[in-house]
Chains A and B, each alone.
Chain A
Amino acid sequence: EIQLQESGPGLVKPSQSLSLTCSVTGYTLTSGYDWSWIRKFPGNKMEWMGYINYRGSTNYNPSLKSRISITRDTSTIQFFLHLNSVTTEDTATYYCAYRVWGGRNMVWGQGVMVTVSS
């Protein structure tokens, strides 16, 4: 059974960088499909941020393209989100997820709440 778990700081100051880790168990990052970061803003709005796929290629939401980077470490079975120059508008719950683009057998992590505040 694939499981994902996000980790990272819950509070980040404006203009700083946000870095989160998604730890995967029960699977490998190279076996197939996409590994995404998605965030849910206060209220119900959800935004797909980007993915790294099983080959290591990345695809980002154009709304974030200049600020986002997704990388991975296949040996520790983790992938990472790095978001530069955060503002209060980046306050959200951040989720990592598997196979969001593939649909079937989609798996989400539990989410980590990140607040951007001075």
Chain B
Amino acid sequence: DVVLTQTPPTLSATIGQSVSISCRSSQSLLDTDGDTYLNWLLQRPGQSPQLLIYSVSNLESGVPNRFSGSGSETDFTLKISGVEAEDLGVYYCIQATHAPLTFGSGTKLEIK
């Protein structure tokens, strides 16, 4: 199975601060069809996960553009440019290039 290693496990930020979360894969996530199926989810407290970014860098409809994704092959980053209070929760990277689909270990964002 593909192992996704997320760092840091916990992040503490002030409102307005920019932060980044890393997701490193044990295998390249570039699919034979040319796409890279690496997505980012946010699970707010008491809520179900929601999609933020799909295919590395595409913003899901309705998601604020302070969220951005980048990376390729095995190294990916989610950046929040100007954290807001509603951004607290656990962030997951998730890959769907290789079966079985796997999740990162999660990064908990706390607001100072």
Contact = CB atoms under 8 A, between A and B. Distances in A.
Is B truly associated with A? yes
Contact of A103 (B37, B50, B102): B37
DSSP class of A's interface residues: helix, strand, loop or mixed?
loop
A110 B48 CA distance: 5
B48 A104 contact: no
A104 B102 CA distance: 17
Contacts, number: 57
A46 B106 CA distance: 9
B108 interface: yes
Given A44-B108, A61-B100, A110-B48, A104 B54 contact: yes
B101 interface: yes
A47 B103 contact: yes
Interface residues of B, number: 25
B51 A106 contact: yes
Contacts of A70: none
A109 interface: yes
Interface residues of A, number: 22
Scoring B60, B94, B105, B108 by chain A CB atoms within 10 A of each residue's CB, the highest score goes to B94
Contacts of A101: 37, 96, 101
B76 interface: no
Scoring A36, A47, A102, A108 by chain B CB atoms within 10 A of each residue's CB, the highest score goes to A108
What 7 pairs between A and B have smallest CB-CB spacing? A44-B106, A103-B54, A46-B103, A108-B48, A48-B101, A106-B51, A61-B100
26 contacts: A36-B101, A44-B90, A44-B92, A44-B106, A45-B103, A45-B105, A45-B106, A46-B103, A47-B103, A48-B101, A48-B102, A59-B99, A61-B100, A103-B96, A104-B51, A104-B54, A104-B55, A104-B60, A105-B51, A106-B39, A106-B41, A106-B51, A106-B54, A106-B60, A108-B48, A108-B49
